[in-house]
């Protein structure tokens, strides 16, 4: 079965998505997700100019060899643009292989290790009482795990918090907006927010929190300790991701579990962290990390060291990668939890999916392959809109980690 075309589509049903379709001479095609929030066009160029021409005529069944060809065969390796491109091709080839077999993808990955995939959703509020309401609403929908993000007194806006009634979409402007950040206010208020929510909703629900890379090692250690009485499921990305050794300092001070990795794109970004047990959950997205082929390697390494997989799943991971995550999550022994922000009707109109969320758990469905169909007319109906993620500054103007 030969690859005859690699097509790349960009559409914006409420936010930008880059979708790849690999076509073959036997009429079977596969889908991949190459969305890189705020950098969509760079990926389009990488795929169209540097990947697609090399794949025409290659055997679509040779998934590992194609992965090696696109990774090892290339001098300029790694990086988000390269790895999400490889990831998209990899997902498409797995989709094709599973369609040829007439099986949902998880069957080719060894079959189900569990009946369904536990998902966590996002709850946010300007203050703790509103966050209690949002958490309760998520629990009423059936979620057993909820991420808490709160507004902070004295700050106009904060990561993960949208206006009431609106969805949170961070890449919301044609040029980067600027937000103000204040670490002391955050460190004082966040534990109190956790206390209020935990007291209101009881101890059975898992409560997660995303620090979004903003603390120093000692500040993160303090936050971890202060949150401990309220039993957080995890503290995510406490530090900027480059300084990996610093996580060991955080760990020696707190038993709050640590989740990192949504900006990682290679096993080389996490092999030492995993081997040194400096994290509890690995958050690499199935698309950003180089596809199913690469994620399975990471999961096997993680499993040796008691680290569980928790693939990144914000709305900027398209339903194609979300489907791949669900198949992956069903099949790996060391699955932890799956982030699921959900999609608005416009997105569901573009991507028809066999996977579904029922009462806080994800199910893959039985459609052969990934189980996603892409409506190509979305490119005209929902054209690309330039969108940037914000930047953050301290009150005195110092640029900070977003």
**Site for ligand KDG contains 210 (CB under 6 A):** yes
Q: Which does 314 bind (CB under 5 to 8 A by kind): ligand KDG, Mg ion, none?
A: ligand KDG
Whole-number Å distance between alpha carbons of 124 and 168: 9
How far is residue 184's CA from residue 165's CA, in Å, rounded to a whole number? 29
Cβ 212 to ligand KDG shortest distance, Å = 6
**What single DSSP character describes residue 131?**
H
Q: 386 by DSSP, 3-state: which? A: coil
Give me 105's structure tokens.
């993808």
| Residue 37 partner contact from Mg ion, ligand KDG, none using kind-dependent CB cut-offs of 5 to 8 Å | ligand KDG
Alpha helices for 13-123 (secondary structure H) = 40-45, 52-55, 63-71, 80-101, 105-108
Burial class of residue 3 (count of CB atoms within 10 Å of its CB; 0-12, 13-18, 19+): buried
**Which token pair is 248?**
């060991």
User: By the 8 A CB rule, do 399 and 176 touch?
Assistant: no
- In whole angstroms, give the CA distance from residue 331 to residue 115: 10
Collapsed DSSP state (helix, strand, coil) of residue 242: coil
Residue 217 touches which member of ligand KDG, Mg ion, none, C-beta under 5-8 Å by kind: none
Q: How far is the CB of 315 from ligand KDG (least distance, A)?
A: 8
We find the least distance from the C-beta atom of residue 116 to ligand KDG, in angstroms, to be: 21
Question: Binding mask 356-395 vs ligand KDG (x if CB under 6 A, - otherwise)?
Answer: ---------------------------------x------
- Residues belonging to the chain: 402
Pairing of strands 234-236, 258-260: parallel
Tell me which stretch binds Mg ion (CB under 5 A): 28-36, 202-210, 242-250, 347-355. Answer: 202-210
Q: Is residue 290 a contact partner of residue 271, using CB atoms and an 8 Å limit?
A: no
Q: How far is the CB of 93 from Mg ion (least distance, A)?
A: 28
Active-site residue, from 46, 106, 159, 281: 159
Tokens of 368: 């052969």
Which among 212, 288, 327, 355 is annotated as catalytic? 212
How many positions of this chain bind Mg ion (CB under 5 A)? 2
Q: Are strands 308-309 and 281-282 parallel, antiparallel or unpaired?
A: parallel
Beta partners for 357?
362
Q: In whole angstroms, what is the distance from residue 80 CA to residue 18 CA?
A: 14
CA proximity to 151, closest of 162, 140, 141, 138 = 162
Residues 158-197: x where in contact with ligand KDG by CB under 6 A, - otherwise, as a string: ------------x---------------------------
Shortest Cβ 213–ligand KDG spacing (Å):
9
Spell out, one character per residue from 255 to 284, where the chain touches Mg ion: x when CB under 5 A holds, - when not. Answer: -------x----------------------
Can you tell me which of 125, 151, 238, 314 binds ligand KDG, judged by CB under 6 A?
Answer: 314
If the CB atoms of residues 60 and 307 are measured against Mg ion, the closer one turns out to be 307
Task: Confirm or reject binding of residue 40 to ligand KDG (CB under 6 A).
Answer: no
By rule CB under 6 A, what string of x and - marks binding of each residue 256-295 to ligand KDG? Answer: ------x---------------------------------
Concerning whether 212 is annotated as a catalytic residue, the answer is yes
Q: Which residues of this chain interact with Mg ion, rule CB under 5 A?
A: 210, 262
Q: Which residues of this chain interact with ligand KDG, rule CB under 6 A?
A: 37, 170, 210, 212, 262, 314, 316, 339, 389
The catalytic residue positions are 159, 212
């Amino acid at each position: 079965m030969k690859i005859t075309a690699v097509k790349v589509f960009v559409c914006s049903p409420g936010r930008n998505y880059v979708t790849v379709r690999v076509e073959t001479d036997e009429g079977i095609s596969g889908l991949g997700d190459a969305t890189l929030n705020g950098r969509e066009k760079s990926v389009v160029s990488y795929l169209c100019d540097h990947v697609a021409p090399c794949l025409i005529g290659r055997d679509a069944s040779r998934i590992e060899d194609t992965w090696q060809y696109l990774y090892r065969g290339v001098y300029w390796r790694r990086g988000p643009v390269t790895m999400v491109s490889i990831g998209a091709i990899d997902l498409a080839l797995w989709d094709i292989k599973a369609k040829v077999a007439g099986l949902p993808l998880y069957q080719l990955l060894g079959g189900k290790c569990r009946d369904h995939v536990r998902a966590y959703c996002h709850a946010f509020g300007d203050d703790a009482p509103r966050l209690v309401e949002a958490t309760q609403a998520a629990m009423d929908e059936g979620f057993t795990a909820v991420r808490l993000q709160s507004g902070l007194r004295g700050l106009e806006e904060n990561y993960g918090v949208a206006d009431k009634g609106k969805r949170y979409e961070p890449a919301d402007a044609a040029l980067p907006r600027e937000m103000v950040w204040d670490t002391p206010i955050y460190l004082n208020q966040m534990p109190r927010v956790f206390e209020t929510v935990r007291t209101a909703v009881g101890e059975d629900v898992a409560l997660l929190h995303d620090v979004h890379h903003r603390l120093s090692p000692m500040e993160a250690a303090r936050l971890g300790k202060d949150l401990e009485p309220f039993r957080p499921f995890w503290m995510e990305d406490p530090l900027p991701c480059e300084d990996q050794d610093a996580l060991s300092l955080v760990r020696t001070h707190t038993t709050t579990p640590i989740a990192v990795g949504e900006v990682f794109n290679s096993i080389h970004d996490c092999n030492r962290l995993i081997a040194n047990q400096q994290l509890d959950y690995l958050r690499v997205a199935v698309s950003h990390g180089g596809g199913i082929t690469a994620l399975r390697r990471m999961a096997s390494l993680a499993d040796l060291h008691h680290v569980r997989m928790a693939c990144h799943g914000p709305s900027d991971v398209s339903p194609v990668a979300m489907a791949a995550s669900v198949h992956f999550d069903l099949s790996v022994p060391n699955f932890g939890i799956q982030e699921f922000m959900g999609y608005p009707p416009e997105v569901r109109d573009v991507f028809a999916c066999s996977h579904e969320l029922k009462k806080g758990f994800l199910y893959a469905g039985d459609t052969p392959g990934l189980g996603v169909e892409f409506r190509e007319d979305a490119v005209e109906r929902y054209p690309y809109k330039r969108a940037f993620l914000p930047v953050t500054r301290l009150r005195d103007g110092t640029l900070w980690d977003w």
